[in-house]
Amino acid sequence: MRLAFTEAGQGAPVVLLHGLFGRGRNLTALQTALAGQHRVLAPDLRNHGASPHAPAMDYATLAADLIETLDAIGLDRFTLIGHSMGGKVAMRAALDHPARVTRLAVLDIAPMPYATTLGRYAASMLALPLSPNLTRREADHALSTAVPDAATRAFLLQNLKTGHEPAWTLGLGFIAAAMPDLMRWDFLPPTYAGPVCFIAGMNSDYIGPAGRTAIATQFPTARIVTIADAGHWLHVDQPGALHHNLEAFLGR
């Protein structure tokens, strides 16, 4: 599958990969910051943003979409930077195609399975009655029990087209069905020997002791950086610190 993407800047190619329920434009500020020195692409992964919808969403398939898309525009070598689910896609692409990935940066996720509430989010979104002229305020209220955090609801609702014929722009049914695949991680022996950096949010629990062990096992050359006063959404909580750390890594 060829993915939709935006592009900015010139220089060595860098590919930014968004997280679950997101889209490439969620990383626009980071894309713009990096575009001063690099050619930065921000794809929408399948079932997200403007990319096509299809049922399979295991990480081998998502990584294959990415490689097909980059092949189509003639990019043979590139840096991968992925946040959350996008970090897992980036890791899988680096393990499957190590000669093509110059550097790998993974934002607040580890190569391990997770048990989260994200499946509940997908179910609550699917259960939302898409009645004609549904407003965003009404949708926000309807999701408030299942998704109590207002910022998380706003993030999810970016994918809702309101108006006379409201609809989710996500391939939401496919995402919900694929949730077990999205939460898992199939161990692969280390094959990627290029530079690797994992960047964690100090206030996030996505990279804890188990995550550090998984990183050391599967990416033994990796270094881990922690950003203070940041949760899982590093690019929102501490954009300047994230950009600084990424530029330092890209310049090594």
pLDDT in tens, 79-126: 999 999 999 999 999 999 999 999 999 999 999 999 877 888 999 999
Q: Tell whether the model's pLDDT for residue 199 goes beyond 80.
A: yes
Q: Tell me the pLDDT of the chain averaged across its residues.
A: 95
Classify the phi-psi angles of 21: left when phi > 0, otherwise alpha if psi is within -120 to 50, otherwise beta: left
**pLDDT recorded at residue 211:** 96
Catalytic option among 18, 48, 83, 232: 232
Q: Which residue has the tokens 């990935």?
A: 101
Q: What percent of the chain has pLDDT over 90?
A: 94
Catalytic option among 84, 97, 204, 235: 84
Residues 223-251: what's their mean pLDDT? 96
What confidence tens digit (pLDDT) does each residue in 124-170 have?
A: 999 999 999 999 999 999 999 999 999 999 999 999 999 889 999 99
**pLDDT recorded at residue 205:** 94
Per the CB < 8 A criterion, the answer to whether 117 and 126 are in contact is no
- Positive or negative, the CA dihedral 128, 134, 136, 138 is negative
**pLDDT recorded at residue 201:** 97
Per the CB < 8 A criterion, the answer to whether 81 and 246 are in contact is yes
Q: 4 to each of 46, 88, 128, how far by Cα in Å? A: 9, 19, 27
What confidence tens digit (pLDDT) does each residue in 24-79 have?
A: 999 999 999 999 999 999 999 999 999 999 999 999 999 999 999 999 999 999 99
- DSSP code at position 4: P
Q: For 35-70, give the DSSP string.
A: TTTSEEEEEPPTTSTTS---S---HHHHHHHHHHHH
Per the CB < 8 A criterion, the answer to whether 78 and 15 are in contact is yes
Helix (H, G, I), strand (E, B) or coil at 15: strand
Instruction: Enumerate domains of the chain plus CATH numbers.
Output: 5-113+184-250 (3.40.50.1820), 118-177 (no CATH)
Phi, psi of 22 (to 5 degrees): -105, -160
**pLDDT recorded at residue 252:** 59
- Based on the residue annotation, tell me whether 48 is a catalytic residue of this protein: no
Per the CB < 8 A criterion, the answer to whether 200 and 227 are in contact is yes
- Based on the residue annotation, tell me whether 84 is a catalytic residue of this protein: yes
What confidence tens digit (pLDDT) does each residue in 144-153 have?
A: 999 999 999 9
